[in-house]
Amino acid sequence: MLTDLGRDALWEYRSDYAAPADFDTFWASTLTEARAHEIGVRLTPVETPLRLIDVFDVTFAGFGGHPVRGWLKLPRGVEGPLPAIVQFHGYGGSRGSELEQLHWAAAGYAHLQVDVRGQGGVTPDPAGSGPAYPGHLTRGIESRETYVYRRIFTDAARAVDAVRAISCVDPARVAVVGNSQGGGIALAAAALVPDVAAVHAQAPFLCDFRRASLVAGQRPYTELTGYLAMHRTQSRSVFTVLSYFDGVGFASRAAAPAWFSVGLMDDIVPPSTVFGAYHAYRGPKEIAVWDYSAHEAGGEDDLRAVLDAFGPVLAEQ
């Protein structure tokens, strides 16, 4: 069933999010600190039964110079420079198997699958944090400096730097993509690295936090409401911290052509929060609205659409 506003109301909805005055300087200084470390991209060939795709285990320096892992998949025998896709995974997930997610390389792209730090993969988060509600969403939420998504979003920007440092990649033709948490990270990356070429955000999480805290009935957003139920006097400070990490703020600073999607029966990421980011998005944009879909949004139909859309956008000029 519908979990949020109806279609007509979603087109009218505008988030009441307001970015803090020092949003841009905070992120500029964060990225300057991160880029003081050499990107240090290391590619280790991985043996697989694949005959048409080469796979590499990738390591690069993210926030604090910490090592971030990923898979790089390349179409075998195709000479560069190649357009590139940087992909971020969903909440609590991982980069997955080297044998999964083969469609981007099969379509002729260099494909970097980033392993989000401190979640279900192989990239640790060396930075500690204070008390948190079970999950990842409130880790380090006592300050903007310690909040976990400061590190994750910085890693995302550095992932774009990393793929651009690979010799077979055309640095002018890099897109960022993801679903759920990955979609929210992609929006952040598009704002923090404003010359990326395209964005796909499928049912993006991490947008319009205050609205999400009021209407979401499922994890992960209920981790935030659970935390605030235990720390009843901290809602003002928590939302002040989150204002530096809200996808609506990043969307309003991103200019690359963007494709969004949303399922109106999504009870994990409320559709209004997706529309909050979509309406704020500064660059050219489209959104696919799936009336009877939940958190999967358009699934393979979204994939087909974005493969078609990215073709001309990322074509060699």
b/e map 270-290, b = 16+ CB within 10 Å: bbbbbbbbbbbbbeebebbbb
Which tokens sit at 261? 């999607």
Q: Tokens 């499928």 belong to which residue? A: 202
Other beta carbons less than 10 A from residue 167's beta carbon:
8
Closest CA to 85 of 146, 163, 148: 163
Contact 120, 93 (CB under 8 A): yes
Tell me the H-state helices in 91-180.
103-106, 148-164
Catalytic residue among 15, 129, 180, 272: 180
Catalytic residue among 15, 208, 295, 302: 295
Which tokens sit at 134? 């079970």
Catalytic residue status for 66: no
**Strand-pair partners of 60:** 68
Exposure of 156 by Cβ count < 10 A (0-12 exposed, 13-18 middle, 19+ buried)?
buried
Which tokens sit at 117? 């730090």
Q: What order do you get walking across the sheet with 110-114 strand by strand?
A: 42-46, 53-61, 67-75, 110-114, 82-88, 169-179, 198-202, 258-263, 285-290
Catalytic residue status for 295: yes
C-alpha angle 60-61-65 in degrees, rounded to nearest 5 = 160
Contact 89, 66 (CB under 8 A): no
CA 164 to CA 252: how far, in whole Å?
24
Catalytic residue among 266, 272, 293, 302: 266
Give the sign of the dihedral formed by CA 186, CA 89, CA 91, CA 292: positive
Distances (CA, A) of 18 to 233, 240, 273: 21, 10, 14
- Active-site residue list: 180, 266, 295
